[in-house]
């Protein structure tokens, strides 16, 4: 089952270390406010890349550009899978179909629906029969629905949320809701997963669990992960590389050890922790 799950989850045809996403000279403005200025870096297949920086540094704006919620005024975002796709003018649902999924800083779940139904809603983006046909549940739509149901069950097992699968999301604790949101992102079968503060508001035990899930998704299933996170202990422990933003500009990029000892990063961010 895990082998089938891994095959469905990571749709990238790249090899580990290949450039999966290239960001070049990105600029984003809101009126007279510059959110991102001349930001460039690459994301490599199968790595965990952390994006850090003070509040207002442009971290979430950057993820919004990658996922299609914002369209930058200048620069390019190129996704390789393995052929190149220019993302800067694509709609979010088209980017999701290419293999890029994300979670949000503020939880964006259907609170009245169950955990299982939230995950199935995420999986529907890849269903050829469409949502209406699957609701009728007949013929090819029935077979496809069953196949996706098995896939979603694997996600439930991976994230250890069997006990809450039939509970309304709105009745769950904040930490469990964050876990369900990551599950819904996984239901899109991403090759690249964007996580915006996945551990915000969690206690120490919940953070340990989330870190373990992130490592499992990355190491066992080959999914590239980009995360925004303010807990520097977590960032330094699980990241392969780190990009640092400050006032919308990239001020550093490197391994955790390089970032930890970078004088500019210490002055702008780490020194304030």
| 154 falls within a domain | no
Q: Got the DSSP string for 55-84?
A: TTSSHHHHHHHHTTSS--SEEEEEEESSSE
| Whether the Cβ atoms of residue 45 and residue 247 lie closer than 8 Å to each other | no
* pLDDT at residue 92 greater than cutoff 70: yes
Would you state the pLDDT for residue 218? 94
9-65 pLDDT per residue, tens: 655 678 889 999 999 999 999 988 999 999 999 999 999 999 999 999 999 999 999
State both tokens at 46.
Answer: 């199968």
Would you state the pLDDT for residue 151? 84
Would you state the pLDDT for residue 112? 87
Would you state the pLDDT for residue 9? 60
| 165 falls within a domain | no
Would you state the pLDDT for residue 268? 84
User: Range with the lowest mean pLDDT among 43-52, 122-131, 188-197?
Assistant: 122-131
| 166 falls within a domain | no
| Whether the Cβ atoms of residue 48 and residue 240 lie closer than 8 Å to each other | yes
* pLDDT at residue 257 greater than cutoff 50: yes
Would you state the pLDDT for residue 144? 61
Distance CA 151, CA 3 (A): 11
| 20 falls within a domain | yes
Would you state the pLDDT for residue 236? 95
CATH number at residue 234: 3.40.50.300
What range defines the domain where residue 68 resides?
A: 2-110+176-272
Chain-centroid distance, C-alpha 169: 20
| 44 falls within a domain | yes
139-187 pLDDT per residue, tens: 555 666 677 788 888 999 999 999 999 999 989 988 888 899 999 899 8
| 57 falls within a domain | yes
| 184 falls within a domain | yes
Distance CA 148, CA 120 (A): 8
Counted domains in the chain: 1
| 197 falls within a domain | yes
* pLDDT at residue 124 greater than cutoff 70: no
Distance CA 167, CA 159 (A): 15
194-248 pLDDT per residue, tens: 999 999 888 899 999 999 999 999 998 899 999 999 999 999 999 999 999 999 9
Would you state the pLDDT for residue 13? 76
């Amino acid at each position: 089952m895990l082998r089938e799950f891994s095959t469905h989850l990571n749709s990238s045809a790249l090899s580990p270390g290949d450039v999966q996403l290239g960001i070049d000279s990105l600029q984003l403005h809101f009126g007279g406010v510059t959110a991102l200025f001349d930001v460039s870096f690459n994301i490599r297949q199968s790595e965990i890349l952390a994006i850090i920086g003070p509040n207002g540094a442009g971290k979430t704006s950057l993820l919004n550009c990658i996922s299609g919620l914002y369209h930058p005024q200048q620069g390019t975002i190129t996704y390789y899978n393995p052929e190149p796709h220019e993302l800067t003018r694509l709609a979010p649902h088209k980017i999701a179909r290419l293999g890029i999924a994300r979670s949000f800083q503020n939880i964006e779940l259907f609170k009245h629906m169950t955990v299982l139904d939230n995950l199935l809603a995420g999986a529907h983006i890849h269903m050829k029969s469409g949502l209406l046909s699957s609701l009728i549940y007949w013929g090819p739509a029935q077979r496809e629905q069953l196949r996706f149901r098995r896939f979603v069950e694997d996600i439930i097992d991976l994230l250890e949320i069997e006990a809450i699968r039939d509970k309304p999301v709105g009745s769950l604790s904040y930490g469990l809701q964050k876990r369900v949101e990551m599950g819904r992102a996984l239901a899109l079968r991403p090759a690249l997963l964007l996580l915006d503060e996945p551990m915000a508001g969690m206690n120490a035990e919940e953070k340990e669990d989330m870190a373990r899930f992130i490592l499992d998704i990355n190491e066992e299933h080959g999914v590239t992960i980009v995360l925004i996170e303010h807990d520097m202990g977590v960032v330094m422990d699980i990241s392969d590389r780190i990009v640092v933003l400050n006032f919308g500009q990239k001020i550093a990029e490197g391994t955790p050890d390089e970032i930890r000892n970078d004088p500019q990063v210490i002055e702008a961010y780490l020194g304030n922790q």
